[in-house]
Amino acid sequence: MAKPLLRLASAVAIVGVTSTGAAYLTGPAQSAAARAQPGAPAAAFTARDIAGKAVSIGDYRGKTVILEWTNNGCPFVGKHYNSGNMQALQQRFTGEGDVWLTIASSAPGNEGYVTPDEARADIARWKAAPSNYLLDPDGVVGRLYDARATPHMVVIDRAGVVAYMGAIDDKPSTNPADVKTAHNYVAAALEALAAGKPVAVSATRAYGCSVKYKTS
């Protein structure tokens, strides 16, 4: 039986997609045109990782990049970690040379916000295996990529173009058993890119807990 999350979600929503720890833009001021969308270049950003290092999405040009929005108190996120699904995806695709960036965009004082030490504890607790863990307490990166729910997933191809964004799979539940029968959109997109084929589904409705953005 899957172990319960250490933190319980205070609010759950199913929604759609269309310096110290802070993230910031690397280009002009944020606008609707600058935001990520399938088929368009990935929105540029730089954010601090849990070691305090500035990480830019541009650092990974030439590699396939997966962005995973997380919330350690969300049962939808817990579904994928308690079942081992998220870790298996991380290990599989980083093993194939892809870059996996886990991102926390919750504001301080809200569910899902983590300090560097808390993020490290979550990695250890779940035996997670991302390439890096980025902190976005001001919500800049999350808003650029229209992350409204967790988990929210984005796949960026080697040319720096958004190939997929939205839900991790087609089973919007908190039941870990559903992972086995779900169609995983992220894996399908990555497999298509690796085979040199077009991604069949480039956008879906994300499901999960609402991202708790900074409001002022």
pLDDT digits (tens, 9 = 90+) for 26-61: 333 344 447 889 999 999 999 999 999 999 999 999
Judge whether residue 17 has pLDDT over 80: no
Q: How many helices and strands in the chain, by DSSP H and E?
A: 5, 10
What's the pLDDT tens digit per position in 73-105? Answer: 999 999 999 999 999 999 999 999 999 999 999
- Eight-state DSSP code of residue 189: H
The pLDDT score that the predictor gives to residue 10 is 35
Q: What is the pLDDT of residue 35?
A: 82
Check residue 209 and give its pLDDT: 97
Burial label for 63, CB within 10 Å (0-12, 13-18, 19+), is middle
CA 85 to chain centre: 14
Quick one: pLDDT at residue 143?
96
The whole-angstrom separation of Cα 162 and Cα 11 is 29
Delineate the domains of the chain, giving CATH numbers in brackets: 23-210 (3.40.30.10)
Rounded CA separation 111/11 (Å): 9
Evaluate if residue 3 carries a pLDDT over 90.
Answer: no
How high is the pLDDT of residue 8?
31
The position carrying tokens 């994300």 is: 206
* Per-residue exposure over 98-112, b if at least 16 CB sit within 10 Å of its own CB, e if not: bbbbbbbbbbeebbb
Residue 133 has pLDDT above 80, yes or no: yes
pLDDT tens digit string along 150-200?
Answer: 999 999 999 999 999 999 999 999 999 999 999 999 999 999 999 999 999
Give yes or no for a cis peptide into 151 (omega within 30° of 0): yes
Instruction: Look at the alpha carbons of 3, 113, 33, 61 in this order and tell me if their dihedral is positive or negative.
Output: negative
**pLDDT at residue 16, as a whole number:** 37
